[in-house]
């Protein structure tokens, strides 16, 4: 004979800790979100104001199943039940051993029917590969209860289904591309992938904020209570469940991170982020690769990308599952109307979220627009207004100036700076971009004076590039008052100095002539939409 209890306080749940964890251990659970530590940490931080009701099903005084629910009354005395952790738990299940699951589900739903005349059950995160969703659906069919199911794809890697050698071979083009980016970054400084403890979590949240500052973020990942939740969760780790945070660092500065929830043989990737200033070096790809290989090396069978249709989740997967949202109600008019409305809302939401281009438009483009409107100054507005007609019709006139080789003597005026030297500078974003393009930066102390390229000359506004001869260097000075000293430094190496000047910079032309430059060519560029023509005079 089955019976039930309702637990509404954390203190009342604590005596069941060993029973709860014992069930999951015997079932070899690999869903981190139903581990006792996750549930209790969520309850004490994020769910402290929710009306949590954990239904404990007992057989002869022994707990055999737990239903972790949140109970509310909405829409005129309609009782609403959902799994706890909504918005934070990707997967949820009924905690029960297989031999008790069907009886426990059948029993507790009959309790709801007897106790509440009108109710609505909305359960998220039910994996189709697990038994709970099937038992719920079976009950709805058997008792002719109105119900609906929504599915979201869940992709993952099963490392037991493929050898690492075959996995690397299958994705050799991606790994080769990532290796090329990694090599390019390592040529500029020290790159480390390492685990971090909870005392460094603030670095992760700071980086996530920077990553999303120009995007629309609804995750709440950096909110105060969420930060506290993950910090407490990391301290609650045990043998079966733990939080792992890894960082990708360049010369000691965080440029990427992953936070994973690891439960027995599953590594669930909770969140990733990277430094937007390093976008060209693909730090997100680098840390994703390192994290996958680390999971394999540590013996995890599953590397779980979570639910959703984001393209990156399908680049590496070997298998897919489906996550269900199960909605069931009693047969009254009000609750059936509410369920129908939820069905319509979720179908529309599903159509929109499955359209990746629409998601990018809202998240990225709209986010950039809102950031611009909030932070743009006069110069930014003028630059934006100028770009509008340039998208249709543009004319550029660029003069090429060179200063011939000379044998210069004396001490070097400016020292070459490494990328690690510019990490704390205000203009770091543009400087990192220059390093990626192959520029060398020179300065006096912490002041960048000029940049130099020994292969190509490049004019940013028009996008014009000019291939240099073997003994020529292109320069772009930041301080025109030091132009003569800059030229002397480059000529000291026996090189010809080249620079590009737009037609409207008359003052700079005069300074170049005074510094020993002379004009060798004029480039005119006409652009109409995507059509582009270059004329050299």
Give me the residue spans of the domains in the chain.
2-155+322-358, 161-300, 389-536
pTM of the model: 0.90
3-class state of residue 495 by DSSP: coil
Q: Count CB atoms within 10 A of the CB of residue 447.
A: 12
Domain 389-536 maps to which CATH number in 3.40.630.30, 3.40.50.970, 2.60.40.1930, 1.10.3720.10?
A: 3.40.630.30
Q: How confident is the model at residue 522 (pLDDT cuts 50, 70, 90)?
A: very high
| Strands 518-528 and 531-536, bridge-based pairing | antiparallel
**pLDDT for the residue numbered 76:** 75
pLDDT, tens digit (0-9, with 9 covering 90-100), for 339-363: 888 888 888 888 888 787 888 888 8
Q: How confident is the model at residue 410 (pLDDT cuts 50, 70, 90)?
A: low
Architecture field, domain 161-300 = 3-Layer(aba) Sandwich (3.40)
DSSP output for 301-339 = SEEEEEES--GGGGSS-SEEEEEEEEEEE-SSHHHHHHH
Q: May I ask the CATH class of domain 2-155+322-358? A: alpha beta
Same fold, 2-155+322-358 and 389-536: yes
**pLDDT for the residue numbered 387:** 78
- Give, as one character, the DSSP assignment of residue 87: T
Distance between alpha carbon 196 and the CA centroid of its chain, in Å? 18
Assess whether pLDDT exceeds 70 at residue 409: no
Q: Between 378-390 and 366-375, two packed helices, what is the crossing angle to 10 degrees?
A: 140
Helices (H) and strands (E) in the chain, counts: 17, 23
Residue 3 and residue 59: Cα distance in Å, rounded? Answer: 7
Residue 510 and residue 483: Cα distance in Å, rounded? Answer: 12
Query: Which of 509, 518, 442, 438 has its CA nearest to residue 480?
Result: 509
Sort 225 into a burial class: Cβ within 10 Å, 0-12 / 13-18 / 19+: exposed
Q: Count CB atoms within 10 A of the CB of residue 192.
A: 10
Burial 484-518 (b: 16+ CB within 10 A, else e): ebbbbbbbbeebbbbbbbbeeeeebbebbeebbbe
pLDDT, tens digit (0-9, with 9 covering 90-100), for 49-103: 999 999 999 999 999 999 999 999 987 789 999 999 999 999 999 999 999 999 9
């Amino acid at each position: 004979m089955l019976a039930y209890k309702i637990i509404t306080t954390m203190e009342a749940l604590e005596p069941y800790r060993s029973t709860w964890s014992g069930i999951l251990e015997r079932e070899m659970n690999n869903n981190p979100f139903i581990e006792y530590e996750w549930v209790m940490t969520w309850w004490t931080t994020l769910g402290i104001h929710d009306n949590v009701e954990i239904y404990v099903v007992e057989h002869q005084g022994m707990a055999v199943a737990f239903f972790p629910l949140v109970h509310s009354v909405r829409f005129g005395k309609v009782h609403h039940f959902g799994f706890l952790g909504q918005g934070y738990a990707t997967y949820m299940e009924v905690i029960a051993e297989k031999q008790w699951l069907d009886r426990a589900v059948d029993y507790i739903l009959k309790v709801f029917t007897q106790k509440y005349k009108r109710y609505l059950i909305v359960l998220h995160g039910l994996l189709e590969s697990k038994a709970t969703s099937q038992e719920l659906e079976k009950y709805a069919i058997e008792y002719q209860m109105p119900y609906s199911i929504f599915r979201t794809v869940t992709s993952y890697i099963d490392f037991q289904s493929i050898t690492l050698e075959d996995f690397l071979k299958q994705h050799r083009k991606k790994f080769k591309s990532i290796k090329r980016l990694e090599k390019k970054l390592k040529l500029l400084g020290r790159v480390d992938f390492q685990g971090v403890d909870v005392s460094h979590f603030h670095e992760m949240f700071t980086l996530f904020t920077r990553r999303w500052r120009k995007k629309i973020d609804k995750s709440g990942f950096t909110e105060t209570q969420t930060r506290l939740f993950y910090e407490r969760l990391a301290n609650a780790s045990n043998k079966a469940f733990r939080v792992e945070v890894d960082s990708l660092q360049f010369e000691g500065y965080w440029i990427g991170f992953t936070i994973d929830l690891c439960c027995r043989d599953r590594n669930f990737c909770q969140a990733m982020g990277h430094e937007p200033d390093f976008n060209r070096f693909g730090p997100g790809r680098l840390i994703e690769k390192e994290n996958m290989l680390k999971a394999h090396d540590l013996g995890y069978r599953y590397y779980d990308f979570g639910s959703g249709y984001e393209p990156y989740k399908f680049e590496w997967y070997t298998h897919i599952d489906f996550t269900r949202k199960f909605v069931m109600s009693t047969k009254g008019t009000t609750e059936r109307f509410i369920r129908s409305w939820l069905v319509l809302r979720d179908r529309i939401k599903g159509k929109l979220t499955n359209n990746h281009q629409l998601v990018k438009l809202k998240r990225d483009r709209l986010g950039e627009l809102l950031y611009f409107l909030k932070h743009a100054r006069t110069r930014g507005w003028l630059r934006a207004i100028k770009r509008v007609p340039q998208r249709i019709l543009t004319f550029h006139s660029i003069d090429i100036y060179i200063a011939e080789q000379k044998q210069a003597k004396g001490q070097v005026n400016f020292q070459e700076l490494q990328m690690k030297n510019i990490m704390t500078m205000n203009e770091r974003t543009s400087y990192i971009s220059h390093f990626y393009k192959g520029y060398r930066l020179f300065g006096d102390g912490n002041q960048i004076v000029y940049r130099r390229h020994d292969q190509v000359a490049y004019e940013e506004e028009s996008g014009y590039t000019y291939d240099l001869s073997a003994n020529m260097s292109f320069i772009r000075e930041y301080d025109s008052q030091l132009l003569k000293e800059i030229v002397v430094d480059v000529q000291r190496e026996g090189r010809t100095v080249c620079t590009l000047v737009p037609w409207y910079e008359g003052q700079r032309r005069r300074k170049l002539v005074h510094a020993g430059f002379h004009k060798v060519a004029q480039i005119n560029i006409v652009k109409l939409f995507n059509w582009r023509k270059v004329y050299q005079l």
